Chain A
Amino acid sequence: MKWSKKLEASSPWILLVFTLLLWQGICSVFSVSEFIFPGPIKIAQELMQYSAIIAGHAWRTYWVTMAGFGLAIVVGVLLGFVIGSSRIAYTAVYPLMTAFNALPKAAFVPILVVWFGIGVGPAILTAFLISFFPIMVNIATGLATLEPELEDVLRVLGAKRWDVLIKVGLPRSLPYFYASLKVAITLAFVGTTVSEMTAANEGIGYLLISAGSSMRMGLAFAGLVVVGAMAMIMYELFSYVEKHTTAWAHQGSNNR
């Protein structure tokens, strides 16, 4: 019994190790050129050799993403609150927002460069623009789907709409909120990286472009690994916070 639980818990790691072995195996057996498709060993070597440089770029990507993400949370929650609480705002804003969200944010980068110059500005803004939408939508959904009976219980006591939203709507939306954070953070990293690839001289995006142009695929992959790792760590962080603050929404799965 205990053994199978341990097996289940360690299964992602087992799969990861297996995938790496398979990858390295294919590269070695077929003598794939390191300039085209480096194996994990080569990537690990590049990581160690250039660790200082990669760390510098990684840090830059990280804090820029966090800045954009922070903005996205603030704007997403505010807008989500407005849209979710007012029918007319919902009807008016939603179609425009959906259209806006359909635009590829990569296309915004040159425009942002013209307005804010090369570097931090466009990166933060691209991260923000790409990641606020899921947050806004989830908060709005959480508020708009409030059960009428919950509302009635409070309205009978003379509660104003504001009371109902703050006391019931927002807490009820927290699970949706955390779910959206997990999606939004990965999007934010995408936004930053895309912006850095076109209009920056620092950051993992820049590293990818410059490593790629000098055919240093090992280094480029190393950069990818680092970005992926950062995004995953943040994802797990929000997952952790979610489990510990919204336990009430998950009681179904706890009983398994």
Chain B
Amino acid sequence: MVASTTPFVEFNNVWLAYNDELLAKEQFAVEDINLEIQSGEFVAIVGPSGCGKSTFMKLTTGLRRPTRGLIRVNGEEVTGPLKISGMAFQASSLLPWRTTLDNVLLPLEIVEPHRSQFKAKKAEYEHRAIELLKRVGLGGYERQYPWQLSGGMQQRASICRALIHEPKMLLLDEPFGALDAFTREELWCILRDLWTEQRFNVILVTHDLRESVFLADTVYVMSKSPGRFIVKRDIDLPRPRDLELTYTSDFADVVHELRSHIGALRTGQPVPSSTLTPTPNARV
């Protein structure tokens, strides 16, 4: 991991208060965020409930402007929603009146330059969507409606929708939270494979520590509200990573370390010192 290239995502002293009232009372949702994410990096963010992880996501995608500080993506300041990102949430939010295929195609009907070419290139786009659905194991389900799919299948379709316009950044807000353990592990592998192929940035917000350590290059731990990043952990485990890795002691050690941090946060105890970088300013 070299720091000589310009970071893809840059947060400089970013603070966010939800509205003017809260700002006047100095009540922030997130405080003093400083971080750099390299192009193609897989980043996971963990932290207690309500700490501001989703707020961080909204700041990254431009859905919210920071109250203080600067956010840069791909060298340019973020002033509004970015078209180069795709998002998937815990609820798959597929439109129930559209088939799975039409749901996956939805971003192409909205984002330029695809939008103006949509009619002309419809066959090509449909082919792309079908291939993507096959990649995640939903081949043959294109004409089904969302309510005919299981939760795991809907979530896979939701991820396809987030990737159809070939974004440079994929933001996932606890996407596997509502799924059972086996489906979750399956989707981890699918996500890992898609990312390995296409190397877009991923910012994954999750509660699941194993998930974060398995998938990510770097894990950030966020404090209780108002959220600050208090720990940054580079995951040095070798790639490609297999599910078997999650049962090794190296893996368990890292998860354990992170868990002690979250545990300390939840009970309000001082964060235990370790070999981890305490402040996420300098890139190791």
Contacts and interface: CB of A to CB of B under 8 A. Distances in A.
Interface string B73-99: 000000011110111010101011100
Contacts of A248: 96-97, 145, 147
A156 B93 contact: no
Interface string B166-177: 000001000000
B91 A154 contact: no
A159 B80 CA distance: 11
Please indicate which of the listed interface residues A147, A149, A174, A249 has the most CB atoms of chain B within 10 Å of its own CB. Answer: A149
Interface in B83-124: 83, 85-87, 89, 91, 93, 95-97, 106-107, 109-112
B165 interface: yes
Interface stretch (A84-92, A163-171, A181-189): A163-171
Nearest to A149: B93
A243 to B, nearest CB: 14
A104 interface: no
A155 B85 CA distance: 11
B107 A246 contact: no
Contacts of A167: 106, 109-110
Dominant secondary structure of chain B at its interface with chain A: loop
- Measured as residues with beta carbon below 8 angstroms from the partner, the interface class of chain A is 20 to 34
A157 to B, nearest CB: 5
A150 B93 contact: yes
A156 B97 contact: no
A4 interface: no
Given A158-B110, A168-B95, A246-B97, A149 B89 contact: yes
Contacts of A154: 106, 110
Contacts of A168: 95
A233 interface: no
Nearest to B88: A153
B155 interface: no
Contacts of A214: none
A152 interface: yes
Contacts of A156: 61-63, 81-82, 85-87, 171
Contacts of A155: 63, 81
A157 B147 contact: no
B83 A157 contact: yes
Given A149-B91, A248-B145, A248-B147, A157 B111 contact: yes
A78 B212 CA distance: 48
Nearest to A159: B110
A251 interface: yes
Contacts of B87: 152-153, 156
Contacts of B62: 156
Contacts of A174: 97
A152 B162 CA distance: 12
B110 A157 contact: yes
Contact of A163 (B95, B110, B171): B110
Of A158, A168, A171, A248, chain B has the most CB atoms within 10 Å of the CB of: A158
B111 A158 contact: yes
6 tightest Cβ-Cβ pairs between the two chains A and B? A248-B96, A251-B147, A159-B110, A156-B87, A158-B83, A157-B110
25 contacts: A147-B93, A150-B93, A152-B89, A154-B106, A156-B61, A156-B62, A156-B63, A156-B81, A156-B85, A156-B87, A157-B83, A157-B107, A157-B111, A157-B165, A158-B80, A158-B83, A158-B110, A158-B111, A159-B110, A167-B109, A168-B95, A171-B95, A172-B97, A248-B97, A249-B96
Given A149-B93, A158-B81, A167-B106, 15 more contacts: A147-B93, A152-B63, A153-B89, A153-B161, A154-B106, A154-B110, A156-B63, A156-B87, A156-B171, A157-B83, A157-B111, A158-B80, A158-B112, A168-B95, A171-B95
